[in-house]
């Protein structure tokens, strides 16, 4: 019956990776708390990098800086 919401930036997670997240979280809740996997719900939100901020900046800007440093 648990409900889990995972928010990540939209940067190319594949269906197979999301499958592994769903599987892994569901198993974790069964292992740690004995929760029934059948009714465990997992929802993954993939958020545009313009819409995710950390350290007061959109991730779009962080990624640009990282690239410039690599290329610089």
Shortest spacing between CB 14 and a copy of itself, in angstroms:
9
| Measured CA distances, 53 to 1, 15, 21, 60 (Å) | 31, 25, 23, 9
Among 23, 63, 64, 67, binds a copy of itself (CB under 8 A): 23
Strand, helix or coil at 36? coil
The binder of a copy of itself chosen from 51, 63, 64, 65 (CB under 8 A): 51
**Number of residues located near a copy of itself, criterion CB under 8 A:** 51
User: Which tokens in the block code for residue 2?
Assistant: 């648990």
Question: Could you list the active site residues?
Answer: 2
């Amino acid at each position: 019956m648990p409900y889990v919401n995972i928010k990540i930036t939209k940067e190319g997670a594949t269906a197979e990776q999301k499958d592994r997240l769903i599987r892994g979280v569901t198993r974790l809740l069964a292992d740690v708390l004995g929760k029934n996997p059948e009714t465990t719900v997992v929802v993954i939100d993939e958020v545009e990098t313009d819409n995710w901020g950390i350290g007061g900046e959109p991730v779009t800007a962080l990624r640009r800086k990282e690239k410039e440093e690599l290329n610089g």
